[in-house]
Structure 1
Amino acid sequence: MHSNQQEPSPVAPSYGVTWGGVPRHARRAMTVAVATLVAAGLTGPAVASAATLTSSADPVSVIVRESAGSGNAPERAVSAFGGSVGRPLDIIGGFTAEVPADRIEALRGVAGVQSVTVDAGLELQSADVESQAAQAGSLYTIANEVTGASAMWDAGYTGAGVDVAVIDSGIVPVDGLNGTKVVHGPDLTLENHTPAQNLDTYGHGTNMAGIIAGRDAAAGTVSGNSTDFVGMAPDARIVSIKVADAKGQTDVSQAIAAIDWVVQNHDKNGMNIRVLNMSFGTDGVQDYVLDPLAFAAEQAWHEGIVVVVAVGNEGFGTQKVNNPAYDPYLIAVGSGNTNGTATTADDVVSAFSNDGDGTRNPDLVAPGEKVVSLRVPGSYLDTQYPAARIGERLFRGSGTSQAAAVVSGAAALLLQQRPELTPDQVKALLTGSAAAIPGATAAQQGAGLVDLAKAKDTATPVDAKQSFTLATGAGSLELSRGSVHVTVAGKEIRGEVDIRGKAFDASSWAAGLKKGTNWSSSLLSGVTWSGVTWSGVTWSGVTWSGVTWSGVTWSGVTWSGVTWSGVTWSGVTWSGVTWSGVTWSGVTWS
């Protein structure tokens, strides 16, 4: 599916700063102010007084991106115009600044200045949100019309006090996810100890976190608010564990280590992690009882954490939800197309959403088509799929990734309403109150579409206790990886070894996880990958479960020869890197 809407080219991200504004790509003729810059010696020799450079106009917050080799000319220009330089933004090769309003156009014309983005404040940002509020996939529609989240909000439950762990590609503090909204756990990628540490250079994690718990700083109210971005559980907090960098790469051992960190730290350092969102999976076929990834996720469940997992996007006829969604303890989420209406009469299960085998099916479905969430300008997804942009702030995608994020937010709302709920009770509430979709089989929809308005008033199922066979984790790490493998320093990681090539003993590891000490501590220690050269590194079977990305087809769970070349983030260049395998659960970005 492709949007016919042509959106502006990406604007560089502002980390920790509210951003907005229309990008300017064509510079206008030199103004009088630019001429005075020439006189000041910033673009050429001449003579002029400081009075001709400075201005009495009100200062405006801007983000300045510098061209390579510009030196400090842009900073000097800001000062010459009577402005002030703020803090550096190394990840985008720029800095923040305050500049008189009538000198911004002149600053754009200065040699060495790549772009100047104005912080347009709430009016432009609100325009982005308001312009798409009526769409079926807007969070406004999903929360207020489809899932019943606003019924929880009206009753006073917004997710406050609940932390949701998100194992993904990191999070950028754009508006809606800034301030104290996000706590960062370990960064398990090569971008650790770089300016991109913890930040989302891929663009997926921020999008998911926005669905779960986004809330604009200006959002004084949530229910019925169509001018500010508001996620499912707008007062919940996100704990981000980054496992995918700008190349979308990781090994299943890193995903396991991330789950391990959540288990060991869920109630430490002021955290209250009650929900874990994993919008990924592998195509491994090992029994869940043996699989290390499924075992790790199940341990989080038994620790009191509601684990929400995407079923995958290989589509109807798969008859298999992905790993670890196939562990029956967890909440396996499929995608539905709700057409933006409160009734399920016109709903269908998304054709891309994996169905079950009649024994292990999706537990329920949630809106997953053309869902609009927060954008990371300049990230991989943003630059590759510009048709998915909505204005300057938002980004639209489809997949069981998005559906899982909706359910993670729903779980956070129920846990604020009833903090004593066990994961089994949360699952029973969500499935017991779900609305059946006419014409869809149980293998496709599970119990049906999430319905929080009904769940809110449903009595706590006191006898809800799952009794499936407990996972042991004593199987094969290699089989957990599925069909694709990561290559490190020219060597493909295969067999019972982790991402660093160290031996993985499933039995001792599983025993250690239960005791709180285990193998993954070596991966988490310092989370530094010094001396490791990543060449052609792929998500080793930890799939983003995508089928098509704006016309790029995923073959099974494999990137089919798609190459990202010459893309640079803050001086770190990835050239000739081939994507050969994995996907998050975003089917299309359009």
Structure 2
Amino acid sequence: MRRTVTAAILAGALAATGSAVGPAPAMAATTDWTFPATAATLADVARSIRADAAYAAGYTGKGVGIALIDTGVVPVSGLTSGNIANGPDLSLESQVPSLLRYDGYGHGTHLAGIIAGRDSATTATGFRGIAPDAKLISLKVGMSNGAVDVTQVMAAIDWVVEHRNDDPKNPIRIINLSYGTDGTQSAESDPLGYAVSNAVAAGINVVVAAGNTGSRITNPATGVRPIVVGSTDPRGTTNPADDVISAFSAADGRGIAVDVLAPGRSVVSLRNPGSFADTFYPSARVGDRYFKGSGTSQAAAVVSGALALYLQKYPNATTEQARLATWGNNPQYANTQWKLNVATMLQPPPNVTLTTARGTGTGSIQKARGTTQVTFGDATALTGERDIFGPLSAPAWAFASTTQTAWNGGSWMGRVYTGTGWGPATNGQANWAGRAWSGRAWSGRAWSDVAWAGRAWSGRAWSGTGSEFTGRAWSGGSWSGARWE
């Protein structure tokens, strides 16, 4: 059951569509870092969504785990006070020791700050995300230039499902997925959408950015069971009554529409010095420590934080109850604006039946990619029914994902991807152990032949020589290969 955004509401949108352009061939965020709008601090955002009602009642997200599948997280101030952990790095950079787990783009760090950033575990002052006491687990899938294949995202979702109870005090109840492709196969057969459905079936609320297309919602927000988030522009106030839908925010497509709207324009969060975004969009800096970004990514992060507040109060709430809570706890959609309101969310959950629709996931991996794909060097694109290691059967994967057997130790679908347990903590962050890859890439070359050591992150730019993984092209604010929304 989905609601549609009316043309009248869309006509009231005032925010201008932004295009992020830059000199690097890459494929990551359509997040825009250049809006001249008044910056919205997280304190302002919290007041706008009425999260102050939760804080006054003592709800800060404690005991709730949130998985952020994105471009990684760096240990800047605000993400080192003990509530951030690094899960496996499944990105193509995981084989470079200096890049393991680190966010070279700036997108994941920005969202982590919005969701669960905090300066201290013992005081209520300083920088605070929407759910400052939630436990955030970062799974890096996107490189510093954004390159990622849809199968890596599927593997990350499967890992979260199979490891959701690793920390009994902070079980993972939420996935934040600000990622989308323009794939258009049916939601029932699409493998990426099915991975999301399996996570929901396992009791995890999957919060998906609707996309920044200004029109059609991207995949997997078109799937069967995620919480689809669109963006509003707070217009420089903390009064939600004057908020309007951001013009860049995707609205509907193929009968699917947004579930909830949250502030997503010029949201101020943590800066990642030397990252791609920081280097090419210095005007987005807010002082030395902060950075503003606009997109349904930021809106999704706000909703993920709000859901953690809700799940702290109602730890036994089903995914369907949590989803309806974002609607204003009214299955009949009394909250016609669909704007996130935490005070309303905290009302007792409605008695609803869990949606059982799930799909099959046996469709085409290539169609899940849509028109985007990762390229090795200048020639070999990752296409067809395969992942970064070789042929991959969608039906075989769908069965393994359904039965939660896709992962076996550090291997996903028989491919050795990562380590098998938690390693030493660094910079206040726990870390999953990494592992070297073997065998051959989709290009036919052995992973050991790839010149990983030939390129290094110097702080502001890539240096050295060697093989490069890139998106196919830079085009109009979209990163080819996938989109970080």
Q: What is the TM-score normalised by the length of structure 2? A: 0.78
For 1:212 and 1:366, locate their aligned partners in 2 and report how far apart those are by CA, in whole Å.
13
**Separation (CA, whole Å) in 2 of partners of 1:570 and 1:139:** 27
Amino acid at match of 1:206: T
> 1:345: Cα distance to partner?
3.2
State the shift of 1:524 in Å.
2.8
Runs of 4+ in 1 over 6 A off after TM superposition: 531-535, 574-577
After superposition, the C-alpha distances for 1:357-393 in whole angstroms (9 at most, x for unaligned) are 4831011110000000001101111111100111111
Identify if the C-alpha distance between structure 1 residues 269 and 463 changes in structure 2 by more than 3 Å, giving closer, same or farther: closer
Number of the residue aligned with 2:306? 410
Alpha-carbon offset, residue 464 of structure 1: 4.2
C-alpha distance in structure 1 between counterparts of 2:137 and 2:247, whole Å: 32
Please give the TM-score of this superposition, normalised by the length of structure 1. Answer: 0.64
Question: Partners of 2:183 and 2:254 in 1: how far apart?
Answer: 19
| 2:277 paired residue among 376, 381, 384 | 381
Tell me how far apart the structure 2 counterparts of residues 464 and 336 of structure 1 sit (CA, whole Å): 30
Structure 1 residues 512 and 229: CA distance shift in structure 2, 3 A: same
Summarize the Cα distance change of 1:384–1:582 in structure 2 as closer, same or farther, 3 Å threshold.
farther
Alignment of 1:355-366 (within 5 A): 355-357=251-253, 359-366=255-262
Please state how far the C-alpha of 1:343 moved relative to its aligned partner: 3.6
Please say if 1:507 is aligned against 2:409: no
Matches within 5 A, 1:30-429: 137-143=40-46, 145-193=47-95, 194-217=97-120, 220-221=123-124, 225=125, 228-270=126-168, 271-315=170-214, 318=215, 320-357=216-253, 359-429=255-325
Give the whole-Å Cα distance in 2 for the aligned partners of 1:185 and 1:387.
Answer: 32
CA-to-partner distance for each residue in 1:195-215, whole Å, 9 max, x for gaps?
221111111101001000111
> Quick one: which amino acid aligns to residue 272 of structure 2?
V
Partners of 2:364 and 2:282 in 1: CA distance: 40
1:498 aligns to 2:401 (yes or no): no
Cα deviation code 1:275-304 (max 9, x no counterpart) = 000011111001110000000011011100
Deviation at 1:176, TM superposition (A): 1.1
Contact in 1 for aligned 2:67/2:138 (Cα 8 Å) = yes
SS in 1 for 2:142: coil
Residues 266 and 229 of structure 1, relative CA distance in 2, 3 Å threshold: same
Greater C-alpha radius of gyration: 1
Structure 2 counterpart of 1:100: none
- CA gap of 1:413–1:255, structure 2 versus 1, over 3 A, is same
Is the CA contact (8 Å cut-off) linking 2:208 and 2:227 kept in structure 1? Answer: yes
> Do the aligned partners of residues 466 and 447 (structure 1) sit closer, same or farther apart at CA in structure 2, a change above 3 Å counting?
farther
Q: Deviations over 1:183-237 (max 9, x none)?
A: 111101232241221111111101001000111128712xxx5xx1111001001
Identity among equivalent pairs (%)? 43
Contact 2:181 2:483 (8 Å CA) reproduced = no
Provide the C-alpha distance between the structure 2 equivalents of 1:259 and 1:446, rounded to a whole number of angstroms. 32
Write the distance in 2 (CA, Å) between the matches of 1:283 and 1:574: 34
- Which residue pairs with 2:8 in the alignment? none
Tell me how far apart the structure 2 counterparts of residues 570 and 380 of structure 1 sit (CA, whole Å): 7
Write out per-residue CA displacement over residues 287-332 of structure 1, whole angstroms, 9 at most, x where no aligned residue. Answer: 11000000001101110001000000010xx2x3111111131100
Higher normalized contact order (CA 8 Å, seq sep 6+, divided by chain length): 2
User: Any gaps of 5 or more consecutive residues in structure 2?
Assistant: 1-14, 17-36, 407-411, 420-434, 444-454, 474-479
For 2:364, the equivalent position in structure 1 comes to 476
Aligned pair count? 407
1:443-482 to structure 2, matched below 5 A, reads 448-456=338-346, 458-467=347-356, 469-482=357-370
CA RMSD, 1 decimal = 2.9
- Is residue 319–residue 354 contact of structure 2 (8 Å, CA) maintained in 1? no
Q: CA deviation at 1:485?
A: 1.3
